[in-house]
Amino acid sequence: MTKLIRPQTVKLIARLLNPLTESNLIMVPEYREIIAQLKYLSTHGEPLPVVVPKMINQSEAADMLGISLSNFKKLEAEGAFPFKRRMVGSAVRYRNTDVLRYMFMDEAE
């Protein structure tokens, strides 16, 4: 596997694009998608796989993040995650794509 983009390059691109985001030339979701794709490409040598969007519960979100459910709930209560909970009836759900973006964005910013 050949890595054509170094992680340092991704950080540089993130810094260069940030002013464009602040001036609304690039929308924030677009910026996040660009950086997430570049970060994954730099570490895996290929673009992010296509993920079918679905709603996941707290336990599934914690598993994706590699933390315990109790730690996930504590961190969420502290506002540590940028993704928002969604209520489906009385059940708490999250978008799996939001969790993935968070996982791939945290080091690039």
pLDDT, tens digit, 9 for 90 and up, residues 10-56: 999 999 999 999 999 999 889 988 998 898 888 888 887 777 889 99
Do the domain assignments include residue 77?
yes
Whether residues 27 and 65 share a domain: the answer is no
Whether residues 40 and 61 share a domain: the answer is no
State the pLDDT at residue 14: 94
Whether residues 40 and 59 share a domain: the answer is no
- Whether 94 has a pLDDT exceeding 70, the answer reads yes
Whether residues 67 and 37 share a domain: the answer is no
Which domain, by its residues, includes 39?
A: 7-44
- Whether 107 has a pLDDT exceeding 60, the answer reads no
What's the pTM?
A: 0.57
Query: Hey, how many other C-beta atoms are within 10 angstroms of the C-beta on 57?
Result: 14
Taking the CA atoms of residue 53, residue 84, residue 94 and residue 11 in that order, the dihedral angle to the nearest 10 degrees is 50
- Whether 109 has a pLDDT exceeding 50, the answer reads no
User: Domain total for the chain?
Assistant: 2
Cβ(17)–Cβ(27) below 8 Å: no
